[in-house]
Amino acid sequence: MNTKNAFERRSDLVNVRLTPPDKLRFEQVAQRLNTTASRLLRKMIRELVGQGPDFLEGDMKTIEQAMFQVGAVGRNLNQLLRAVHSGRPVASSEFRPVLDDVLRHVEQLRKELHRAIDRARNRWERDDPSAEQETLA
């Protein structure tokens, strides 16, 4: 059973005519980004019409890893709070390292999210200025 609504289903096709060199370059970009040509074109369209950033697989893996680390630190904090609420005396020296760890990981996640968003927004800028010259020649 398909649970996607009509707006999420990919039923419409777009045909684009390209020169062989343009098609090759487009496929190379998709390969470099470790995605398919279809996924890359959808991503470009979504970002062009303001529905992005639309993260690629590599961006999501980095974000998921950072979130996992924040979750692990949160579990440590939760254990300390359970001890406090159970009436067990907990020294402030036990809390400080955990809180510092939480703050460090949250800040790391915030920075990684910003980097991923910036990568998605700037993905289409040329890495190699000489490639621009080749297309103009």
pLDDT in tens, 78-132: 888 888 889 888 787 877 887 888 888 888 888 888 887 777 777 666 555 454 4
Q: Are 83 and 90 in contact (CB under 8 A)?
A: yes
pTM comes to 0.49
Give CA–CA dist 43/29, Å, rounded.
Answer: 13
Q: Which domain holds residue 108?
A: 56-137
Position 12 scores a pLDDT of: 85
User: For residue 18, is it within any domain?
Assistant: yes
Residues 96 and 137 reside in one and the same domain: yes
Residues 95 and 120 reside in one and the same domain: yes
User: For residue 43, is it within any domain?
Assistant: yes
Position 73 scores a pLDDT of: 80
User: For residue 1, is it within any domain?
Assistant: no
Give CA–CA dist 107/119, Å, rounded.
Answer: 18
Counting the structural domains of the chain, the total is 2
User: For residue 127, is it within any domain?
Assistant: yes
3-class secondary-structure state, position 112? helix
Q: Are 108 and 66 in contact (CB under 8 A)?
A: yes
Q: Are 77 and 102 in contact (CB under 8 A)?
A: yes
Residues 38 and 95 reside in one and the same domain: no
Residues 92 and 116 reside in one and the same domain: yes
Instruction: For 104, list phi and psi in degrees, rounded to 5.
Output: -65, -45
Residues 46 and 17 reside in one and the same domain: yes
Whichever domain contains 110, its CATH number is: 1.20.5
Of the pLDDT bands very low, low, confident and very high (cuts 50, 70, 90), residue 134 is very low
- Output 117 or 52, whichever has higher pLDDT: 117
Residues 16 and 64 reside in one and the same domain: no
Please tell me whether the peptide bond between 129 and the residue prior to it is cis, using omega within 30 degrees of 0: no
Residues 91 and 135 reside in one and the same domain: yes
Give CA–CA dist 110/66, Å, rounded.
Answer: 9
Residues 60 and 84 reside in one and the same domain: yes
Residues 61 and 20 reside in one and the same domain: no
